């Protein structure tokens, strides 16, 4: 079995390992001509560096208020004000303290993921 790579090659799986073949390799072309299809390449996952909380708060304060979704029910002149109100109304005291006291926002932090999901407007159903 072959799997494509992001570098324009094909990987042939062999006994728990693999060998790299170019896309014009004879064995690979013969395998394709037999009606086989390689697995697609793994997606490129961008690495997102941690963000200083003050930087994140600065960006959110510069964004206009959200008008759709859960944050729309909170008044505020910007997204940061709406998120602050959401946090005050919905998170238990220890999480509120952590939200206000954290120095770095990590994408893998469940609280950051939850709050970040609030920024995505609901998709219209069609």
Q: Return the HEC string of 82-96.
A: HHHHHHHHHCCHHHH
In a domain? residue 125: no
Average pLDDT on 7-21 reads 80
78 lies in some domain: yes
- Domain shared by 55 and 113, yes or no: yes
13 pLDDT tier (thresholds 50, 70, 90):
confident
Q: What is the tally of structural domains in the chain? A: 2
Residues 27 and 55 in one domain: no
Task: Tell me which long-range contacts 60-66 makes (C-beta under 8 A, separation of at least 24).
Answer: 66/118, 66/119, 66/121
Q: Does 56 lie in the same domain as 17?
A: no
Its domain, for residue 72, covers: 51-117
Dihedral sign (CA 28, 34, 35, 36)? negative
Assess if residue 18 is contained within a domain.
Answer: yes
Instruction: Please tell me whether the overall predicted TM-score, pTM, comes out greater than 0.75 for this model.
Output: no
Q: Do residues 28 and 83 share a domain?
A: no
In a shared domain, residues 10 and 68: no
Cα–Cα distance between 120 and 75 in angstroms, integer? 17
């Amino acid at each position: 079995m072959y799997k494509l790579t992001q570098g324009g090659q094909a990987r042939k799986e062999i006994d728990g390992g693999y060998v790299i073949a170019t896309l014009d390799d004879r064995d690979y072309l013969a395998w394709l001509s037999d009606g086989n299809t390689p697995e697609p390449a793994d997606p490129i996952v961008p690495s997102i560096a941690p963000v200083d909380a003050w930087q994140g708060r600065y960006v959110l304060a510069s964004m206009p208020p959200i008008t759709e979704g859960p944050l729309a029910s909170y008044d505020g002149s910007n997204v940061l004000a709406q998120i602050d109100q959401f946090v005050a109304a919905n998170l238990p005291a220890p999480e509120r303290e952590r939200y206000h006291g954290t120095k770095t926002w990590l994408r893998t932090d469940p609280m950051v993921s939850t709050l970040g999901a609030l920024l995505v407007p609901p998709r219209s159903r069609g």
